[in-house]
Structure 1
């Protein structure tokens, strides 16, 4: 197969995943699964205790002022808790923390119950927010702004404090947790 034939075959395969109004959700999810992403657990504090959820749509947005972008499901219970609290903490997970990532992604589990489901996630307060002991980095934020983002909400957080250690991050690619080579 020549390069041009391979390219044409790939274009045909990619075109088939698009509907009349753009790509189907499953096709879009599959396309972005090819982009490796870091795995984080976003936490906050509630009257019922610590709460959190796994999030991969997290990135640094600006250094001046220091801002973080978080994309989180519009119907997420954790989003409700973050907005009520006005603060959240991004915990960057290390290799070997896939059980923690899976526990905090469990559908049907309340954001507070996730702290007791692994069987218990060791954590400590960092700037008044629940920081996972195993995290490679912690970024404490105040909610700065929110924007609608389709079936998600874009939360812009002002970074109030951060700390980091050393180690390899947990990465998600093609629907699986992975380690860097």
Structure 2
């Protein structure tokens, strides 16, 4: 058996922060209203059938309600929505939607003005380390032309 080298978590975090990522807010609903969180680990999985993979923290509130409802939206934030990045990444999760305009599509909260929104139904979930990889079957999608919000090295960039 080969020995596994221990990687310094801070060094790994700094290295991964150099990779530009689109900023998304994953939204779903709870019995008390809309819930969501900022996520930068979203990837297109397949065109046939259309599907995506989202990495969510295992044990997180958004994942809990996503599993319960079986539906979610991936909202790719526009440059003008950069304040939503931090709002949905920190603070009281129960208050993240306070004062945030949203509409319901198929019962799922959607953030108007997003560069792209992909509505999904939960197809599968796989726990890996401290995160759960959620596979969503795409049931609808929209897109716009406005500049997207990208995160690199902890800084917001316009793309």
Same fold (TM over 0.5): yes
Map of 1:80 onto structure 2: 64
Map of 2:45 onto structure 1: 61
| Higher fraction of strand | 2
Alignment of 1:50 onto 2:34: yes
| Higher fraction of helix | 1
Q: Secondary structure at the match of 1:31?
A: helix
* Structure 2: gaps (5+ residues): none
Structure 1 runs of 4+ aligned residues shifted over 4 Å read: none
Determine the C-alpha separation between the residues in 2 that align with 1:140 and 1:158: 8
Deviation at 1:24, TM superposition (A): 1.8
Q: Could you say what the CA RMSD is over the residues aligned between the two structures, in angstroms? A: 1.2
Map of 2:114 onto structure 1: 135
Tell me which structure has the larger Cα radius of gyration.
Answer: 1
Structure showing greater relative contact order (alpha-carbon pairs closer than 8 Å, 6 or more residues apart): 2
Give TM-score scaled by structure 1 length.
0.82
Residues 137 and 104 of structure 1, relative CA distance in 2, 3 Å threshold: same
Give TM-score scaled by structure 2 length.
0.93
